[in-house]
């Protein structure tokens, strides 16, 4: 029995030494890996120094100067940048992109400057147009339009905008969860 215990003890000691050798080898491999990664990181940072730049910190809401206002009657929400206003116009007033609104307004001005009026069904296919955009586009492109045609265009745009606002209200009512 004593010899069996001695044999088992010898095997246990051999396996323990083998395990220690494996652990030492693993630790050496990990050390080499970390050394290589540190070296790689250092070379990468030397080669691409722009990755170390400081991120831009956003200003808190309280610090934003909200000087850009929504031009739609009854809205008037303030925004810090024109891009935020454009997103608001696109989402809340069915205004499309800034380019869409400007192109549509320019086309309408040219159409109305010839003394024509757009049929109601075609007018409803257009995006919402802020009333102040008429004067801006008229100035920018030098489109001459009579006062009567300008009033007719303003009336049609007001009707268009109110129609779109009604559609938005209906959509919002349909999207409300039941029981809310």
pLDDT in tens, 34-89: 999 999 888 887 777 666 566 677 778 778 888 888 887 778 889 888 888 888 88
- Using CA atoms, how far apart are residues 32 and 23, in angstroms rounded to an integer? 14
Domain that residue 125 falls in:
97-175
Average pLDDT over the chain reads 81
Taking residues 140-166, what's their average pLDDT? 81
Number of domains in the chain: 1
Q: Does 148 reside within a domain? A: yes
Q: Does 37 reside within a domain? A: no
Q: Does 60 reside within a domain? A: no
Does residue 133 register a pLDDT over 90? no
Q: Does 108 reside within a domain? A: yes
Nearest to 75 by CA among 62, 64, 89: 89
Q: Does 129 reside within a domain? A: yes
Q: Does 39 reside within a domain? A: no
Confidence band of 146 (pLDDT split at 50, 70, 90): confident
Q: Does 71 reside within a domain? A: no
Does residue 169 register a pLDDT over 80? no
Q: Does 15 reside within a domain? A: no
Nearest to 129 by CA among 84, 152, 97, 151: 97
**Cα–Cα–Cα angle for 128, 167, 121, rounded to 5 degrees:** 65
CA distances from 75 to 21, 25, 70, 149 (A): 76, 71, 6, 26
Taking residues 141-146, what's their average pLDDT? 85
Burial class (CB in 10 A: 0-12, 13-18, 19+), 103: middle
pTM of the model: 0.53
């Amino acid at each position: 029995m004593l010899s069996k215990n001695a044999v088992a003890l010898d095997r246990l000691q051999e396996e323990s030494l083998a395990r220690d050798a494996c652990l030492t080898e693993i630790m050496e491999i990990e050390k080499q890996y970390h050394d290589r990664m540190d070296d790689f990181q250092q070379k990468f940072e030397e080669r691409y120094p722009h990755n170390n730049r400081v991120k831009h910190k956003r200003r808190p809401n309280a610090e934003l100067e909200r000087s850009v206002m929504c031009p739609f009657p009854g809205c008037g929400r303030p925004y810090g940048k024109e891009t935020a206003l454009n997103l608001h116009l696109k989402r809340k007033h069915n205004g499309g992109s800034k380019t869409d609104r400007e192109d549509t307004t320019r086309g309408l001005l040219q159409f109305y400057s010839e003394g024509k009026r757009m049929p109601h069904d075609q007018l409803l296919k257009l995006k919402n147009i802020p009333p102040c955009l008429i004067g801006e586009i008229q100035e920018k492109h030098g489109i001459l339009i009579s006062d009567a045609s300008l009033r007719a265009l303003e009336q049609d745009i007001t009707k268009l905008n109110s129609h779109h606002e009604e559609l938005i209200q209906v959509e919002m009512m349909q999207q409300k969860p039941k029981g809310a």
